[in-house]
Chain A
Amino acid sequence: MTAAATVSDVTMRFSEHTALAGVSTSIEQNAITGLLGRNGAGKTTLMQLLTGHRVPSSGRVEVFGARPYENDDVLRRTCFIKEGQRYPDHFRVRDALHGASLLFPGWDADLAQTLLADFELPAGRPIKKLSRGMNSAVGIIIGLASRAPFTLFDEPYAGLDVVARHQFYDRLLADYAEHPRTILISTHLIEEIADLLERVLLIDRGRLLLDTDAESVRGSAVTVRGPVDRIRAFAAGHDLLHLDTLAGTGRAVVRLRSGGDGPDTSGLLAEPTNLQELVVAMSLAPPAPRHSSTDALQGVPR
């Protein structure tokens, strides 16, 4: 894989708090990567580092082969749509779009107009009079119409209704297919976006729990139900991420390891764990020892 951005052993400390601890990963070029994790996991911090809004306490961040901090050449090719993006008070929608058109060399004004109509945004309305969802739509329009080679969306759809969100997915896919570029998107609405992703990063408490392609996540874990002792016997050859019990019956999320017995022979009811359930189970599981955490999935047979 070719990397648009690399993060090497990056730690980010704020006075009392370590937001990222020794994170190493790379963002694949021209792929859509999902950045997943709980509130406060470190997603926004990672995006701020990738876009030169912060400098890491230690480690190295490179985008297009150079450090992004105060680097015009990198930043002109980067579009970062922040959660709850603020605009100057007197700005109307069209002022924000005009400003963005000056900033991004690849700006597509026609696409911006189409998206304005899609999201039913009145171009002349002052942005501070917009609802939360409409404010999010402004960010989405800028993010897509910028055609920036590296586009980051941080929780882009606060307040957007389900119809508008699907419009966003459709427009994103259509435009990305025509103009492939590197897209990093953080979201809590995992189920909605799972099939759009090519890569998945999961952060928890400042550490990377998953760094893999989306396809290999599918089928990498099973949710099993049945007698607790049988679940324990089955899970012994795998990773037991989460177990609920009720009167001797259990429900468990088990991450499969190569070499362990398949769930078919366990005498348990088994179904594949979808990405959202896996993220929940992994985020709730006690922190694993660091060495094996990031590539643990690679040995699982498909």
Chain B
Amino acid sequence: MNDDGGPIFRQVADLIENAIVDGSLAEESQAPSSNELAAFHRINPATAAKGLNQLVADGVLYKRRGVGMFVATGAREQLLKRRRSEFADQYLRPLMAEAQKLGIPATEVTDMIDNWESPR
């Protein structure tokens, strides 16, 4: 996993959340097991299990006894809601900090966003 200092179990949880948000892991479908995650990411199975349990605690996944973990209905909406509320802090803050460093006024940043064409 990457070396940004964040806990590995959190990175595991984030990757599963990403898959749910972008739709590649549909609601009510089965999430990968901790052993599968451990083998895939080459991490300790206990760490992978901790990431999954975090998602269970958040209500994103739920356990079916003897079968595995599944994506809860409404999980995608829940994650979108949380990520939208974190958007300003995670993305606007560094953007505005850099703009300030370079002396770009907020209005100019707004113009840039208005005229932004996402690369194909």
Contact = CB atoms under 8 A, between A and B. Distances in A.
Contacts of B42: 169-170, 173, 195-196
A226 B108 CA distance: 32
Most-contacted residue by chain A among B43, B44, B50 (CB, 10 A)? B44
B83 to A, nearest CB: 22
B5 interface: yes
Interface string B11-49: 000000000000000000000001100110111111100
Nearest to B49: A177
B34 to A, nearest CB: 8
Interface stretch (A2-10, A85-93, A213-221): A213-221
Interface in A155-198: 169-170, 173-174, 176-178, 180, 195-198
B10 to A, nearest CB: 10
Contact of A177 (B1, B8, B38): B38
Nearest to A166: B42
Interface residues of A, number: 23
Interface residues of B, number: 20
A169 B5 CA distance: 22
Interface string B40-73: 0111111100100000000000000000000000
B66 to A, nearest CB: 17
Contacts of A272: 3-5
Contacts of B39: 170, 173-174, 177
Interface in B88-118: none
B6 interface: yes
B7 interface: yes
A271 B6 CA distance: 11
Contact of A195 (B6, B8, B35, B50): B8
B45 A173 contact: yes
Nearest to A196: B44
A198 B35 contact: no
- Which of B5, B9, B39 is packed against the most chain A CB atoms within 10 Å? B5
A274 B4 CA distance: 9
A178 B7 CA distance: 24
Contacts of B41: 195
Contacts of B9: 215
20 contacts: A31-B46, A170-B39, A173-B44, A173-B45, A174-B39, A177-B38, A180-B45, A195-B1, A195-B8, A195-B41, A195-B42, A195-B43, A195-B47, A197-B44, A198-B46, A214-B47, A215-B8, A218-B5, A218-B8, A272-B5
Interface of A: 31-32, 169-170, 173-174, 176-178, 180, 195-198, 214-215, 218-219, 222, 271-272, 274, 302
User: Which 7 residue pairs of A and B lie closest in terms of their CB atoms, listed nearest first?
Assistant: A272-B5, A177-B35, A219-B5, A195-B43, A177-B45, A198-B44, A274-B3
